[in-house]
């Protein structure tokens, strides 16, 4: 069984599994945004941070990477991803069709936000997002590091994200 994973946030720069192939990919009807409060990796229950999630929006699309797990590692990869991504049940695991830049269409494991979960916070103003990201810190480090790494990797991949650029500049100013 071939296992593809759609990466749009930290999976771009820290997949945590052996990737045999990667390709630019587009997922329709979802938008990347800081719509999930992070109480483990980039914040705490007392002071939540923000992480990117895919929020369902008909007509929208998200560009990222499709990552194919190395042959023979599919079960271990899925177990690892479930432990990492489903830590608080705010994400839902879906198998969704993504279009690759070379024209192929593949089904990819994709983690999308559960809009009914207590950690969902879609629609926060960018300034409020920046204030949270500048101060929050969790088990995997400062929230601003997550933002900076994700924005830098999207730039390297040629995937523009105006909100992440604005947030990166604003958080840098807040941190001095």
Marked catalytic residue, from 21, 85, 107, 128: 85
- Helix then strand then coil, in percent of the chain rounded to 5, is 30, 40, 30
CATH number at residue 18: 3.10.490.10
Check if 156 is active-site: no
pLDDT at 26: 98
Supply the range of the domain harboring residue 30.
4-175
Domain count, the chain: 1
Instruction: Say if CB 136 and CB 50 are below 8 A apart.
Output: yes
Q: What is the CA radius of gyration of the chain?
A: 15
Element (H, E) at 124: none
- Who contacts 129 (Cβ-Cβ below 8 Å, separation ≥6)? 34, 50, 167
The pTM for the full model equals 0.93
Q: pLDDT per position in the chain (176 positions), as tens?
A: 899 999 999 999 999 999 999 999 999 999 999 999 999 889 999 999 999 999 999 999 999 999 999 999 999 999 999 999 998 889 999 999 999 999 999 999 999 999 999 999 999 999 999 999 999 999 999 999 999 999 999 999 999 899 999 999 999 999 99
């Amino acid at each position: 069984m071939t296992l593809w994973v759609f990466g749009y946030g930290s999976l771009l720069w820290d997949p945590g599994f052996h990737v045999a192939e990667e390709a630019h990919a587009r997922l329709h009807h979802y938008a990347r945004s800081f719509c999930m409060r992070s109480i483990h990796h980039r914040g705490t229950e007392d002071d939540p941070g923000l992480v990117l999630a895919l929020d369902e929006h008909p007509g929208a699309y998200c560009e990222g990477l499709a990552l194919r797990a190395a042959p023979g590692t599919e079960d271990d990869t899925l177990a690892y991803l479930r432990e990492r991504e489903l830590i608080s049940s705010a994400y839902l695991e879906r198998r969704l069709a993504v279009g690759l830049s070379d024209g192929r269409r593949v089904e990819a494991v994709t983690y999308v936000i559960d809009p009914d979960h207590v950690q969902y916070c879609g629609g926060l103003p960018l300034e409020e997002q920046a204030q949270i990201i500048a101060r929050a810190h969790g088990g995997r480090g400062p929230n601003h590091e997550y933002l900076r790494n994700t924005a830098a990797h999207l730039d390297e991949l040629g995937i523009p994200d105006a909100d992440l650029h604005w947030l990166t500049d604003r958080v840098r100013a807040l941190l001095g």
